[in-house]
Structure 1
Amino acid sequence: VQAELAKVFAFAERVRSGEWRGVTGEPVRTVVNIGIGGSDLGPVMAYEALAPYVQEGLEVRFVSNIDPTDVARTVADLDPATTLFIVASKTFGTLETLVNARLARAWLWERLAASGAIDGTAESRSAAVARHFVAVSTALDKVAAFGIDPANAFGFWDWVGGRYSVDSAIGTSLAIAIGPERFREFLAGFHAVDEHLRAEPFERNVPVLMGLLNVWYVNFLGAHTHAVLPYAQLLHRFPAYLQQLTMESNGKSVRWDGTPVTCDTGEVFWGEPGTNGQHAFYQLIHQGTRLVPADFIAVATPAYPLQDDRGDGTGPTDVHELLLANFVAQTKALAFGKTADEVRAEGTPEHLVPARVFPGNRPTTSIMAPALTPSVLGQLIALYEHVTFVQGIVWGIDSFDQWGVELGKKLALEVAPALAGDAAALAAQDPSTRSLVAYYRAHRRRP
């Protein structure tokens, strides 16, 4: 593990220092990470969260969706001479990732040839791929067949699940962006929470307590969803990251021994940064009929400590404190609500009183860190990894498999020929699928 980490760090330093150069001799200015699932959600979340630590002059972009719009828009304004692609796929066989990698390779060849950087021969194309593509994969034969030098492939192991892999070689793009020193701080954050889980007694063990609370909410209070509400804009991708971590891990109806579960498992995780969510869905959390446990996350010291001067002589206002006032107020309102008598005391007409009562007793957990550093982000990720694990243990399920994602992939391969016009493949489909395919074929316009 340490040897592979050292290899990732050495490569990151070569890119950051300008030693690694493209086929025209220019240094890398943009890294494009091509992956999906855990090979995308973790890296893009961490890159966005740690934006203040990214080396000036370097940018990382991310491609995941097989919708061709994703790759087309991502590379549209890039200079191929200064672009490095990282293809992240453990088996180097993930459909979406390989399609996007081939599209990126075709774009690279076309744009380099148009600029005169390569002459279009197989040899020049091979040289371009070798300087502009690296891989995160252990399938070195497939990496080489694509044209990537296996020496520039960074591996991780079968026991590293995709949704738990951002701190492995999958984080190569992040290591390039923030540098090895900061990435080690990131890893140290994970380790701190790992040790906390291992050593602390249950009554002081935060992941255990949060995991047991989540089980209580689901199995005893009937909660079906769980909101994660970061009052830190840099964490705007964190809820999406947690969706895979929690729902792919614990969305199971079979126990680890193959028997059916005997209780509800898993929750629908979702969220949006504050205060955006306050103007969208907090109404349901405060006064709706569904119980929605919520985690509120904030930092004491902002990355951008801006002041607002309203020009009325009152002096500047710390904008971060305005944000945190909302953070504190929302959890207080959810806990204690507002009684009918309090509403009446404000002079509210009697017929409006019921609509303005807040029942309170809505469960929340508040998490506040000194600042959003690489270490704190590592701690936050590890916290939720262990919360997920604790819930899986209580429910008796395997939080480390994900067979539920396989059926759709298999059926997509069977439907693809029907979309392309194969009559036999179309005839083999159910009536609903045949109707959808027929509509597509009738309305698809091609250049």
Structure 2
Amino acid sequence: MPPTLLSSRRVLLEGRLQPATLELENGLISAIFDHDPSRAGDHHDYHDLVVMAGLIDTHVHINEPGRTDWEGFATATRAAAAGGLTTLVDMPLNSIPSTVDADSFRLKLEAAAGQLRVDVGFWGGAVVGNLDGMRELAQAGVLGFKCFLSPSGTDEFTNLDFEQLGQAMQMVAELDSVLLVHAEDPAELLAFSGDPRSYDNYLATRPPRAEVSAIERVVAGAKATGCRAHVVHLATEAGLASLAHSGVTVETCPHYLTFAAEEIADGATAYKCAPPIRGRATREALWQALERGAIQLVATDHSPSPAELKCIDSGDFSAAWGGISSLELLLPAVWTEAARRGHGVEKLARWVCSAPARLAGLDHLKGRLEPGLQADLVVWDPNASFVVDRLEHRHALTPYQGRTLRGVVEATYLRGQRIFFQSQHHSECLGQILKKARTKP
């Protein structure tokens, strides 16, 4: 089969937008030429549209098997392809069973088979009493592990106390893996009181000090054990001081970079997540941390649920599910706010392509455009805008509904195959399961 050629005057190469023609063959970028849209062959000329590596989202709750009424591999990967994402890493909880040992991982792989429109890897769970299960999961090929220090929201996925965190970190270090941590100290969380529709009342239940206290424990544990650790969904700049020079990496999410507590109406439970969306000053501090590299990446924490679990009718923040749907919107949500603050495509790609690839141990395959790497690409218009109305997730409910965002995806390529083009999906599911090759027993 002859190679595919792809040209644009704005291809992101080595941190700079420049004219180029890419040659895609056998699933890889086989060569990069000077811009030549007249070169003979199966040529896709995208003129002035941006071409960059496909996005990688390392924080996605796909929820299959067991909760496909919440999401599922078919709908999640379809939404990903439409949003320019070519790789997802699935979280180990909210599916039934949770991914905490080899048997539960096997069930997840069976559920995924034949349904993937993009590539999917998996985090394994670190829960109470499953150190042996963690070893099984590592042997089976998970990309790393995830734990909670506060209750996870589902009974099947138990949170670790600080002693158990240390044990899990020791195991992760022995396995030469990485531990992702939901860092909120349960001792610092407060009971809900007052009007259940009040966002301020919900915000008060999860103060910044809960994040700070937990992050301090994560940093100390990583230092004591040599564990590679990563803090997920940072929602307060107050946690950054402990992370500085610690070697522990950290992400934030599009909703913390887009919304602010002052803008959330009482009863607007579509905005509920944990940790919560904080004030405008915090939002700007998170942007500044991204700019200077104190926060390394952005991931969605896509955590959908049926509308009734979000308590939309009652507006009860005390009872609503804490999760935000935004998988398809990672690129435009981050780009809209980044461009508003003067950031360019180069920084965007660092936050949503190359840094996530490093976290997941996939940077030898994905995350940037270089000869020899997989031909995972997104082609998009950074100047076009759209109003969020219909999304391809299983549930349309999202706080982005009705919002105008910049950045429209024209095409998505997975290993050189165009899987999405001008709102149309490829007829086949071409995604693959990603596993980590083990180097330690």
Query: TM above 0.5, one fold?
Result: no
The answer to which structure, 1 or 2, has the higher relative contact order (CA under 8 A, 6+ apart) is 2
Q: Which has the higher helix share?
A: 1
From the two aligned structures, give the one with the greater strand fraction. Answer: 2
The TM-score, its normalising length taken from structure 2, stands at 0.22
State TM-score, norm by structure 1: 0.22
Larger radius of gyration: 1
